[in-house]
Structure 1
Amino acid sequence: MGGWAIAVHGGAGVDPNLPLERQEQAKHLLTRCLNIGISALRSSLPAIDVVELVVRELETDPYFNSGRGSALTEKGTVEMEASIMDGAGRRCGAVSGVTTVKNPISLARLVMSKSPHSYLAFAGAEEFARQQGVETVDNEYFITEENVGMLKLAKEANTILFDYRIPTIGLDTCSAAAETSLQMNGLPISVYAPETVGCVVVDGEGRCAAATSTGGLMNKKSGRIGDSPLIGAGTYACEVCGVSCTGEGEAIIRGTLAREVAAVMEYKGLGLQEAVDFVIRERLDEGKAGLIAVSNKGEVACGFNSVGMFRGCATEDGFMEVNIW
């Protein structure tokens, strides 16, 4: 056994023109979240507790697209989704269409531990949240001025605007971006980067866990569900590894990306980084995405085919890094 390891992500597909100041903000947040996870692992907290703890922090900070700061639907509302999986016993929980739950990842954890089900959505998920007494807030809490501006741009461009977290004041590149030939499920998109958040952990006992949370796509249709809450697509954990994905949800769903990493490890005997590279290369077709992963041997890996991915990782032997490109 190789000790504990942790990785976090704040989304794949970063605008190459992202201002340095915003890059530093992202790195600072990822570092803070990594340190929270490291402290928890040093206190011998189980992997499943650590991934929830870290993703809660990412949901609470409005920088990335989850919880507060979530992308807005075409109606200007927030519909959040999240999933969590414990590799020990392959237990999982997921939620979609959540509009008032402050920390969707914790509701997903409750679905796993306090309900007979694996997945609850929309009104049913909200009702379960009230029954469980989790913290709820008005939908307005999740909406930021920046995202209101981005939704306006998306509507003007008549597209799903992927969210770069670039200040929208004076942004005149939208029309040019809208003319690019990028497509998602056959529909043109303006720019690419949904900043979903996620965390994967292997603890000192070799137990793997994964958690993913997102607001989805800017200007998405109401009721759209992406890969993040889908076990095997956006999130997967088993005895061998834990995986959290980010990027073009429709492509990740088609490629069952997270499960595929575990499958090639289990059935092809590939190592962790080898499995990640194989899946990014062979299973995304034309899609753009990235993922983070840990193995039960204490290894950590990431891979992406987009311009960049907000990510950070650390291992018990003192290795730690935070990168974007």
Structure 2
Amino acid sequence: MKSRRRLWSLFAALGLAASAHAAGPVLVIHAGAGAPRKDMPPAREKAIRAALTQALLAGYTELKAGKPAIDGVTAALVVLEDDPLFNAGRGSVFTHAGTLEMDAAIMDGYTLRAGSVAAIDHVRNPILAARAVMEHSSHVMLVGAGAEAFARSQGLAMESDAWFRTEERWQQLQRALKEDAAKQPHGDEATAKHFGTVGAVALDVDGHLAAGTSTGGMNDKLPGRVGDSPIIGAGTYANSDCAVSGTGWGEFYMRTVAAHAICMRVTQLRMPIARAAAEVINQEIPAMGGNGGAIALDERGHIAIPFNTDGMFRGWIDGSGKPHVAIFGDEDDGTGEPLPAPAPDDAASGR
């Protein structure tokens, strides 16, 4: 097992690159980094794999129908936000004051249009609020009460506090508060402050890219704290060559402008996306003391899924139409099949 873990660490350091069929759309999702096997009961693991698959199929249905990448991203993230297993929408973590403050962002790589919301509550699907900001306002980011009022004006579904609250998240906050009072480090990753986000990147049949990210933020965070997920360029970014969604310790993703840094390596340096993503996620961020992961996708359908934690909830589906999901660091995907090899023209093209 140790040798397998070392081998997987090598794969992760190289960015876990994959290739998609050029003729078909591509969708990649994540639902948070961390995921130690010891903290994963079999029933929960099964439920998470099923939820990831459902999200993949929802997004891929849009893409396969010829809809733009932004629609595939949105559809996948709505499924994940509605599932209380994940720290986004329903199931979001609590602030230190016991309140909910959710963040989300979405970006269309073809037009460079973007929208985001931060520190909102009551909006059932924050990713829809972010998209509404992009499509129906002259702004990129709205926060707090103003963002919620805008979401209401757009007719988005709203929910009470009770709908978002789960007992699991409440107990995570209680453990964190006790550890804070005792000045103790958090005892497990479920209680740790910086894990948990959902994200998606997509390539449509026209070759256009999009990215989106949604999160409840950090467990036990100070009210008003905003992380990297809704910050365009930090946790979410897309252009004509590259799309990225991150998950991890957001303060470090903001300080490295992680998503943008990955895409600039691809766009300006013509670096393969696997190397670009690995340099930022597995080198720059850990060197500063942070950790986490990301999903990245280039305009030819190459996928990178670097992470430096025990695992990351993740999934992908390409032109073959078959969903793949994985959780732990020592597996390639949920079916036991190997990842596709990089495209054979990588060496010749420099990509």
TM-score (norm 2): 0.82
Conserved 8 A contact 1:12-1:193:
no
Conserved 8 A contact 1:12-1:290:
yes
Tell me the equivalent position of 1:303. 306
Pairs within 5 Å for 1:209-288 = 209-284=210-285, 285=287, 286-288=289-291
* Cα distance change of structure 1 residues 245 and 19 upon mapping to structure 2, 3 Å threshold: same
* Cα distance change of structure 1 residues 47 and 179 upon mapping to structure 2, 3 Å threshold: closer
User: Which of residues 150, 153, 162 in structure 1 aligns to 2:175?
Assistant: 153
User: Which of residues 50, 62, 78 in structure 1 aligns to 2:100?
Assistant: 78
> Aligned partners of 1:139 and 1:190: how far apart in 2?
21
Matched, 1:48 2:78: no
Pairs within 5 Å for 1:1-325 = 3-17=24-38, 18-158=40-180, 178=186, 191=192, 194-284=195-285, 285=287, 286-318=289-321, 320-325=323-328
Conserved 8 A contact 2:192-2:219:
no
- Cα RMSD over matched residues? 2.1
Tell me the equivalent position of 2:335. none
1:192, distance to aligned residue in structure 2 (A): 6.4
* Cα distance change of structure 1 residues 179 and 110 upon mapping to structure 2, 3 Å threshold: closer
Structure 1 unaligned runs (5+)? 160-173, 183-188
> Aligned partners of 2:139 and 2:184: how far apart in 1?
46
TM-score (norm 1): 0.89
Conserved 8 A contact 1:14-1:192:
no
Q: Which amino acid aligns with 1:242?
A: A
> Aligned partners of 1:153 and 1:132: how far apart in 2?
38
Conserved 8 A contact 2:107-2:113:
yes
Alpha-carbon displacement from aligned partner over 1:134-164 (angstroms, at most 9, x marks no partner):
11111221111111111111111117xxxxx
> Aligned partners of 1:310 and 1:10: how far apart in 2?
5
> Aligned partners of 1:235 and 1:254: how far apart in 2?
14
Q: Which amino acid aligns with 1:51?
A: V
Structure 2 unaligned runs (5+)? 1-21, 329-351
Determine what percentage of the aligned residue pairs are the same residue: 40
1:89, distance to aligned residue in structure 2 (A): 1.4
* Cα distance change of structure 1 residues 179 and 98 upon mapping to structure 2, 3 Å threshold: closer
1:318, distance to aligned residue in structure 2 (A): 4.5
Q: What is the number of equivalent residue pairs in this alignment?
A: 304
Conserved 8 A contact 1:87-1:207:
yes
